[in-house]
Chains A and B, each alone.
Chain A
């Protein structure tokens, strides 16, 4: 966005013209395809869209619940993992190793598999005192998977804090714990807010995976139900639109935060 402004009016004009040309070319090719009338009927059916959108929107509330609840746990658990990994000294090796094994495994397994394994596996155990709901375990799966990613983001932040900061804090008499709590983590977290939000956007989309194992439909599953009832794919588009309504503002917010951070850093170096 900032780039456009710098290029000036001529740049904007070129961008607009080239966008129109590309869009027109795509539209031309797509609508000239031999099956376009059928595709239009099956994927872009206005009536189907209008009739299915309200139902799917109601179920989308569940997706919002899923990612709000999951995000709180992810931010906490991932920070714990990152701190575990940054503990110095040979004594803490087992804790570091545990954190490394955890992040390696859960980053390495496709999220959809974790959702399936937990969503079907744990309720089948029929353990007393353990929730039987597949929804519960599917959300837990998202938390486990995303915590591994987010822990790495935190770790990058922690490692970006210059060692002299910690050394200064220690020399002022702060304990190891207080140094971490009041000096390192606040600086680290501030620096990684944009990538954290980036993972949050990813999480919002992946709540659709919960629908694969749960019995009570969320937006994606509701769309599938209507799709197979009516033999029409338009409900999937309605679901896609709902996800966009949430993820696009979030993405713009991330962009804005990154730009603001860059400006501030530039100001800081100028001083």
Chain B
């Protein structure tokens, strides 16, 4: 799931108003800071002394929150607020690598450009990009910062909401945004008898289910929880019907780097530190679990 709705913006803004301090300040608790030593030795920064991080614009919740100033180039959310899951992760990682929040610069990195060959204007991109071995031949991925599951969102009371297994979903028209692992999950794992819808953006996908053109949409779980949140209801009158079981290797998000960038090692070291001291778990809980009002989501059975 990488492209999210314009409409979510307002609610994201409201939700974020309650928040005060960015998570940034809590980063880098370990004084040993091997990631910081590592980062000092790297000479490939696009702008020396600064960690330049790329993400797509608009930056969508729940991965980015906190809104954006009117004159800002960022739509919906300015990633530099430190609010939202990926913003918080980026600041935690940069903190471990010895960068103060002031020395972190955000630039726009459109998804399709993150894997185009050539020089980049950022050191790494963080925008819900799922790892796959094929993709890894075009870019370098960091270790996982989030293990993601796909989930199904549908309108309350429609027949599809009674589905409990993958087999139950066979006869429905499902849809997902193109370029996402969600779409690949429909085509590769669910394999419905009706040809699934592939929409250019998440907002188009949501529009399609709101117009009853499709029975259900598949998105990553955090996005599903967000758009079906009783206070958001991006999909009108919707529920998260269930989350999908992992098939094969678990899917995860990684930051992406230009092939061969030595910075990958330092970021991985930083991620390892954040995992071992519980910071990453705390960030995940804060931005992706506590924020949702949906309750527990059942897992579809594979039979």
A217-271 contacts to B, CB under 8 A, are 217, 221, 224-225, 227-233
Q: Is the interface of B mostly helix, strand, loop or mixed?
A: loop
| Chain A contacts for B259, CB-based, 8 A | 38
Assess whether A233 is in contact with B116, with CB atoms less than 8 Å apart: yes
Q: Which one of B117, B135, B181, B197 contacts A215 once the chains associate, using CB atoms below 8 Å?
A: B197
B214-233 contacts to A, CB under 8 A, are 214
Q: Is the interface of A mostly helix, strand, loop or mixed?
A: helix
One digit per residue, 1 when the CB lies within 8 angstroms of any chain B CB and 0 when it does not, for chain A 28-58 equals 0000000100110110000000000000000
B178, B179, B183, B259: residue with the most chain A Cβ atoms closer than 10 Å: B178
Give the contact stretch, choosing among A87-95, A119-127, A180-188, A191-199. Answer: A119-127
Assess whether A217 is in contact with B198, with CB atoms less than 8 Å apart: yes
Assess whether B198 is in contact with A216, with CB atoms less than 8 Å apart: yes
* Distance (whole angstroms) from the CB of A101 to the closest CB of chain B: 31
Size bin of chain A's contact surface: 20 to 34
* Distance (whole angstroms) from the CB of B220 to the closest CB of chain A: 15
| Chain A contacts for B179, CB-based, 8 A | 224-225, 227-229
Q: Which one of B112, B175, B204, B214 contacts A228 once the chains associate, using CB atoms below 8 Å?
A: B112
Closest to B208 in A: A215
* Distance (whole angstroms) from the CB of A224 to the closest CB of chain B: 6
Known contacts A124-B211, A215-B214; decide if A42 and B204 are in contact (CB<8 Å).
no
Within the assembled complex, what's the spacing in Å between the Cα atoms of A104 and B91?
54
Assess whether B118 is in contact with A35, with CB atoms less than 8 Å apart: yes
Closest to B173 in A: A215
One digit per residue, 1 when the CB lies within 8 angstroms of any chain B CB and 0 when it does not, for chain A 115-133 equals 0000010011010000011
A64 within 8 A of B: no
Size bin of chain B's contact surface: 20 to 34
B111 within 8 A of A: yes
Assess whether A123 is in contact with B211, with CB atoms less than 8 Å apart: yes
A212 within 8 A of B: yes
Known contacts A215-B198, A216-B197, A221-B198; decide if A120 and B207 are in contact (CB<8 Å).
yes
Assess whether A232 is in contact with B138, with CB atoms less than 8 Å apart: yes
| Chain B contacts for A126, CB-based, 8 A | 211-212
Assess whether B197 is in contact with A221, with CB atoms less than 8 Å apart: no
| Chain B contacts for A133, CB-based, 8 A | 213
Assess whether A225 is in contact with B211, with CB atoms less than 8 Å apart: no
Closest to A40 in B: B117
* 20 CB < 8 A contacts A-B: A38-B259, A39-B117, A41-B117, A42-B115, A120-B204, A120-B207, A213-B200, A215-B199, A216-B197, A216-B198, A217-B198, A221-B198, A224-B178, A225-B183, A228-B111, A228-B179, A229-B179, A229-B181, A232-B115, A232-B138
Beyond A215-B199, A229-B179, 18 additional pairs, beta carbon < 8 A: A39-B117, A42-B115, A42-B117, A42-B138, A120-B204, A123-B211, A124-B211, A132-B212, A215-B197, A215-B213, A216-B198, A221-B178, A225-B178, A228-B111, A228-B178, A228-B179, A228-B180, A231-B134
